[in-house]
Amino acid sequence: MAPPAGQIRPAKYLASFVLIVVALYALVFFTGNGSAKPKLGIDLQGGTLVTLTARQEDGAQPSEEALNRARDLIEVRVNGLGVSGAEVVRDGNNLVITVPGADSEGAKGLGQTARLAFRKVIGQPVPAGAAPNPSQPSSSTAPSSGASTPPATPPSQSAGQAPPSSGAPQGRPAPNLVAQPSSTPPSSGAAPSSSASTPPAPSNVDPKVAKEIQEAKALRQSTDPQVLQQAALLLDCTQPDPLRGNDDLDKPLVTCDEKGEFKYTLAPVNPPKEDTQTKADDYSNYSRLTGEDINNAAANNNPNGTGYVVNLDFKSEGGSKWAKFTSANVQQAVAVVLDGEVMSAPTIQSAIEGGSTEISGKFTLKEAQNLANTLKYGALPLSFDSSEAQTVSPTLGLQSLKAGLIAGGIGLALVFVYCMFYYRLMGILTILSLALSAVIIYGVLVLLGRLIGFTLDLAGIAGFIVAIGITADSFIVFFERLKDEVREGRTFRSAVPRAWVRSRRTILSADAVSFIAAAVLYVIAVGQVKGFAFTLGMSTVLDLVVVFLVTHPLVAMASKSKFLSSPSLSGLGGAAREGAAHRAATTGKTTAVKGA
């Protein structure tokens, strides 16, 4: 038979709370790496700061829309990498990224433009430091409209299997892409000399940047085969590449691999816009495949060796393009090009159906995960030059934390003293409930750090301190309602269920308002304010767990004990005397109140 309204079985509720705590800490100690410490934010443990400077292809100032879009995409990448507590803020044309911990390489990689393309390899790769061999025939030419299929590349690995790393490709590298430069000036497609006249640039354009990009395009993306040969000879793989993320997909490209060990001459991704002769179904030279054709990317173990690879799943149309391209280029090499750099260049052994492929390059797990997430979450609308990662010291944050904890401890001690003086036994229950609330909050923090990468910073600690007041308010609402019942002449034992029923709705309403306020603040806030809102909302929810499963059952148990329900010990004697005096004044009778 169910107990009357407000009557509960305290042992049942307390047992439920104990089971929750046991399950929580079992997850804390027996999952993950076994660490029982929450993750700390950059202001408490230090971290890494990277400044990304935006640049456009023409050297013009980036637009507000492009900068904001880039910032949003980088924030999405941060979340995809599981980096919590990071901040991405604009500083003029710069984006400043702060990441907790010492993961500088991961932070620098967040600014990668991630423009992926598949280009057919023309001829064979040339070692970056190799001298040109004039005896080799100039067999590789940039495909133009109606160009014949270039000679095959002899690497042994196939696309769809593990592509070769950025080390030496399979097969004998032959420098047949270049010839000794002719004494005659290059044809009309040659790069303009430094003395060539250029039209005046707009006032918001950096002439130096624009000139570097345009000269690199004219030399390394020329449609003239002789100019491409000269470009392969002159290209220095040890220097920063001005075409990083700025190469034209409709033109050939001379570039290096990501390690700077080999030079490649690559066919265009798409037929030139002015080319009207190439049929729409001609994939003999043009893959027509870019990062926009990718549906998903994931890092996995290399099935054909050590290390990790990035598996790509194409969209339906991208899968169709990939199947047509591989079918038309069996025994030809295809380069996977990311931001103008060759990641790998496998040989296509057979037509590949199914819309999937992989990128390999001697990746570590973190490198493979970073690349997969970068490709999955899209290319940035701008190219960025990254500064050296700077270490942020936690000294100032730790000093602030120490001062905040001292202030919070003093305030909490005053609350305890007041509760002991005013509520006596129930004040002790308040202290015990707050301690148990801290136990469950700590466990939740550790698990959230593992599951969603939540990091605790100064703002989050401030949210917990504010939540202490909300939790104490719930106790006070219940205790004051209990006093009201005693003033009406009820005993401690009979007053508890009635007081709980009447105070429960008020507690729920107050916590609901606090949670809604925290949720709204979390949605509209940025940076560390989100941490404050998150911890405030989380503490409000856990407050209900403690009040319902701990505080109310403990008060109910105390009311059933003759010793603990003594008016002098429970702190309810004053309420009982007030009630008796009021009834005596209204009825004209004298009521004796025994006890304190």
Give the pLDDT band of residue 140 (cuts 50, 70, 90).
Answer: very low
Question: Among the listed ranges 229-233, 306-310, 582-586, which one has the minimum average pLDDT value?
Answer: 582-586
For the record, the structure tokens of 247 come out as: 């190469």
Scanning 113-224, the segments in alpha helix (DSSP H) are 207-220
Average pLDDT over residues 192-220: 61
Pick the range with the lowest mean pLDDT from 36-40, 50-54, 266-270, 575-579. Answer: 575-579
pTM of the model: 0.50
Residues of the chain with CATH 3.30.1070: 42-110
For residues 87-97, give the mean pLDDT. 77
Please compute the mean of the pLDDT values over residues 402-421 and round it to a whole number. 80
274-291: average pLDDT: 80
Q: Which residue has the tokens 């980096």?
A: 83
Which range is least confidently modeled, 80-94, 112-126, 165-179? 165-179
Among 2-6, 18-22, 422-426, where is mean pLDDT lowest? Answer: 2-6
- Name the class of domain 42-110: alpha beta
* Residue reference for tokens 């939740």: 444
- Picking from 146, 150, 164, the residue whose alpha carbon sits closest to that of residue 120 is 150
Instruction: Check residues 60 and 421 and name the one with the higher pLDDT.
Output: 421
Indicate the pLDDT class of residue 171, thresholds 50, 70 and 90: very low
pLDDT at 16: 92
Q: Does domain 116-136+150-182+208-374 correspond to CATH entry 3.30.450.40?
A: no
pLDDT of 316 reads 86
Q: In the chain, which residues fall in CATH 1.20.1640.10?
A: 10-37+394-587
pLDDT digit string, tens, across residues 215-263: 888 899 888 888 888 888 888 888 888 887 778 888 999 999 888 888 9
Q: Report which of residues 582 and 81 the model is more confident about.
A: 582
Give me the pLDDT at residue 90, please.
Answer: 78
Q: Is the pLDDT of residue 348 over 90?
A: no
Superfamily designation of domain 10-37+394-587: Multidrug efflux transporter AcrB transmembrane domain (1.20.1640.10)
Q: Where in the chain is the domain with CATH 3.30.1360.200?
A: 116-136+150-182+208-374
62 burial via Cβ count (<10 Å: 0-12, 13-18, 19+): buried
pLDDT of res. 120 = 92
Q: 326: which residues sit within 8 A by CB, 6+ positions away?
A: 159, 160, 334, 348, 350, 351, 352
Confidence at residue 520, expressed as pLDDT on a 0 to 100 scale: 92
pLDDT of residue 374: 67
Question: How confident is residue 112, by pLDDT bands cut at 50, 70 and 90?
Answer: low
Residue 561 pLDDT greater than 90, yes or no: no
Taking a C-beta distance cutoff of 8 angstroms, is the pair 107, 366 a contact?
A: no
DSSP state letter for 117: E
